[in-house]
Amino acid sequence: MALDVFTVVAEPQRRRILEQLRRGQASVGELVDVLDLSQPTVSKHLRILRQAGFVTCRTAAQHRIYSLHRDPFDELEAWLRPYRQQWDRHLDALGHHLDSKENRT
């Protein structure tokens, strides 16, 4: 079952996990300590993030080390790009308007 990237990132605890992994790879135990969440909660959210492709996992000794995977973030970026471009155009137009108004005085 494919998970919608927006549904995945809509959950606040998963966003906290992603934010922590943005700082660098981490084990489940490290995430539990930093985020002050229970191990089952972190593991549940990591499973969902992994199924959606947001994180990858590798084994180091008896630890599972998680890190971010780029593809779902690219999908989010592609969806957001037109909105960002629209706001950039509006802000540029406002800047030009304010500049022209300042030059008239």
CATH code for the domain in which residue 97 is found: 1.10.10.10
Residue range(s) defining the domain that contains residue 90 = 5-103
Closest CA to 22 of 65, 74, 68, 72: 68
> Looking at the 3D structure of the chain, how many domains does it have?
1
| pLDDT, tens only, 48-71 | 999 999 999 999 888 999 999 988
Asked whether the whole model's pTM tops 0.85, one would answer no
Question: d(Cα 56, Cα 58) in Å, to the nearest integer?
Answer: 7
